């Protein structure tokens, strides 16, 4: 069994008036602002499985999870502040349009997201807010915690990891922070019968027909 790990660093977002901005003076490596008015940020990377694909092996996932450090925070904090966080591992890269839609629709086939159940290895979608009871601490508390995904095996040479954060447009001006996280995948690399492997390889290639972001 193989254990794969990938880490994302801190995000600091500043809000002034109707727009959010990315504060690059802190550890915001890899983060990008997708929409200033919608408060959407993303960080994209991938697991490189090229060595396994060269050995003609298929990756069968046995588990996926993530390790957090702290809840998101706001300064100043006030009741009603809202944030949505999506952590997703897929066998194809996500477009900006997907990133903007996933916090609302997940990978539902009824929404505008071009991401299916089979293409989603793991997704965790959480909603956070600050209320009267925890306002003084400055940290968000969890309102909802949902998990989606299929853990479907893949012959792809990459597993794409995307962290999406959306701070509500109605939040007051201030500094918003999301702290480091680690994605973990556990998998077995196995050889399949040649015909079955070639069909899976073809399917993986079809799913990846979107520009990669290195």
pLDDT tens column, 92-105: 899 999 999 999 99
Q: Please give, one letter per residue, the 3-state secondary structure of 14-34.
A: EEECCEEEECCCCCCCCEEEE
Task: Domain ranges for the chain, please list them.
Answer: 2-207
- What is the enclosing helix (H) or strand (E) of 206? helix 194-207
Please determine, for residue 3, whether its predicted confidence score (pLDDT) is greater than 50: yes
**Short-list 89, 99, 105, CA closest to 47:** 89
The tokens describing 80, both together, are 């009603």
Average pLDDT, the chain: 86
Higher pLDDT, 55 or 108: 108
Exposure letters 18-37 (e unless 16+ CB within 10 A, then b) = eebebbeeeebeebebbbbe
Q: What is the pTM of this model?
A: 0.86
């Amino acid at each position: 069994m193989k254990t794969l790990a990938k880490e994302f660093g801190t995000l600091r977002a500043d809000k002034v008036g109707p727009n959010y901005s990315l504060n690059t003076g802190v550890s915001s490596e890899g983060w990008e602002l997708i929409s200033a008015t919608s408060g959407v940020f993303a960080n994209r990377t991938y697991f490189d499985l090229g060595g396994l694909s060269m050995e003609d092996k298929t990756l069968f996932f046995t588990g996926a999870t993530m390790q957090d450090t702290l809840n998101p925070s706001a300064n100043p904090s006030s009741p009603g502040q809202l944030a949505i966080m999506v952590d997703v591992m897929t066998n194809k890269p996500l477009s900006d349009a997907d990133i903007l839609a996933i916090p609302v629709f997940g990978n539902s086939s009824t929404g505008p997201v071009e991401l299916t159940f089979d293409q989603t290895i793991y997704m965790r979608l959480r909603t956070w807010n600050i209320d009267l009871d925890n306002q003084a601490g400055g940290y968000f508390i969890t309102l909802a915690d949902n998990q989606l995904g299929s853990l479907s095996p893949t012959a792809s040479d990459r597993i794409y990891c995307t962290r999406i954060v959306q701070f509500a447009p109605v939040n007051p001006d201030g500094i918003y922070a999301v702290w480091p996280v680690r994605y973990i995948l556990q998998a077995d690399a196995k050889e399949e019968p040649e015909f079955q492997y070639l069909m899976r390889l073809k399917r993986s290639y079809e799913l990846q027909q979107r520009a990669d972001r290195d």
